[in-house]
């Protein structure tokens, strides 16, 4: 299941160099993953919290290829990449309105129980959305 999330670069995303600050890209990628999880499970953040479920990012590999500027219309593509017992990986790419690739990332998460603060097995609603093939790199 591939998700595409759209957003527009706003003034607060811009740094003193006039482009999107590198830390903002992490927020963009998170919005893409949040949308993917919602579409995969039908649960938003509060629904997952009520069921004692969460995900925690444990690793991000990111390549910045081209800058994003104020007013750019971006698309965050989130693709399930690999699933383990408790961990999952997403390949994410950010494109601008010209379909130019700006950023590529490989994000590793674990399923997490917010009460016990421990990782847990990936739930079936998510597991079924991942390919059976081997993981790739960015």
Q: What domains are defined for the chain?
A: 3-127 (3.10.129.10)
pLDDT 10s digits, 26-83: 999 999 999 999 999 998 888 888 899 999 999 999 999 999 999 999 999 999 999 9
Q: Is the pLDDT of residue 111 over 90?
A: yes
In this prediction, residue 131 carries a pLDDT of: 80
- Residues 5, 78 contacting (CB under 8 angstroms): yes
Place of tokens 């740094």: 15
Full-prediction pTM beyond 0.85? yes
pLDDT 10s digits, 126-138: 988 888 765 556 5
Tokens matching residue 36: 């993917």
Q: Is the pLDDT of residue 24 over 80?
A: yes
Tokens matching residue 54: 């969460």
């Amino acid at each position: 299941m591939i998700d595409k999330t759209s957003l527009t670069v706003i003034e607060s995303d811009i740094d003193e160099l006039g482009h999107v600050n590198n830390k903002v890209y992490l927020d963009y990628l998170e919005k893409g993953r949040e949308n993917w999880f919602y579409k995969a499970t039908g649960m938003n953040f509060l629904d997952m919290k009520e069921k004692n479920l969460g995900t925690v990012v444990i690793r991000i590999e990111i390549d910045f290829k081209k800058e994003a500027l104020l007013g750019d219309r971006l698309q965050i593509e989130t693709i399930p990449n690999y699933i383990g017992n408790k961990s999952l990986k997403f390949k994410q790419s950010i494109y601008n309105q010209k379909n130019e690739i700006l950023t590529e990332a490989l994000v590793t998460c674990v399923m997490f129980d917010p009460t016990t603060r421990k990782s847990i097995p990936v739930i079936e609603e998510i597991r079924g959305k991942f390919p059976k093939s081997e993981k790739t790199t960015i």
